[in-house]
Amino acid sequence: MNYPEVYILRHGETFWNAENRMQGGLNSPLTQIGHAQATRQAALLADRDLSGFAAISSPQGRAFQTAGIAVAPHIAMINTDVRLREIGVGTWQGRLRAELKVEGPVQDSPDGPIALYEQAPEGEGFDRLEARCLAFLNDLSGPSVLVTHGITSRMLRTILLGAGRKALGQLPGGQGNVFHVKDGVQTMIE
């Protein structure tokens, strides 16, 4: 499928990110570093022509807070879409990653071990995350700036790049990044 041009932002660092704690559907506010990351994202977007772009954010506080700092200076209206929320991590919400055990090989990434998100008890899992990300992208009607979360960003980008799930842990990530995806090609804006 041919998708519209997008910029994908991950929210800035939160207090729970700094503690290496799983957030999922829970929320923790941005740290000073997180505010600085969002401010940097705003500066990176200032060099882009965003005429005609929509702005869509996860409704979760950390993403919407980042959108207010990074995107609002460039696009007047920020809409939310629940499909951009972070992957549900079930009973592991609020727990320190160091307390959690996963089965099998652990593929680490800047957003933590990917297996944690697939194996979380009562969690959403990658099948359901992929289905909601596909539904969101299929409904996207034009160029957009998306503000979301680490694992959701990765899933969106694997779909947009046609890279398949094996790329979830291989894509660049981390907080405060801006990725531009157009015609199946990803560029990290620096």
| CA distance linking residue 72 with residue 21, whole number of Å | 28
pTM value? Answer: 0.95
- pLDDT of 182 reads 97
Phi and psi at residue 146, in whole multiples of 5°?
Answer: -110, 130
Which pLDDT belongs to residue 101?
85
- Report if residue 149 sits inside a domain: yes
The arithmetic mean of pLDDT across residues 87-98, rounded, is 94
Indicate if the pLDDT at residue 47 is higher than 80: yes
Count Cβ atoms below 10 Å from residue 80 Cβ, excluding itself.
17
1 inside domain: no
122 within a domain of the structure (yes/no): yes
- The H or E element that residue 70 is part of is helix 61-70
Residue range(s) defining the domain that contains residue 40: 6-189
Residue 24 domain flag: yes
Q: What does the pLDDT look like over 110-151, one tens digit per residue? A: 666 788 898 999 999 999 999 999 999 999 999 999 999 999
Average pLDDT over residues 154-168: 94
Domain count, the chain: 1
Domain contains 95: yes
Domain annotation covers residue 119:
yes
What does 87-141 look like in DSSP terms, one character per residue?
PP-GGGTT-BGGG---SS-----TTS-THHHHH-TT--HHHHHHHHHHHHHHH--
**CATH code at 145?**
3.40.50.1240
How high is the pLDDT of residue 39?
Answer: 98
Whether 107 has a pLDDT exceeding 70, the answer reads: no
Residues forming the active site: 11, 86
Residue 103 lies in a domain: yes
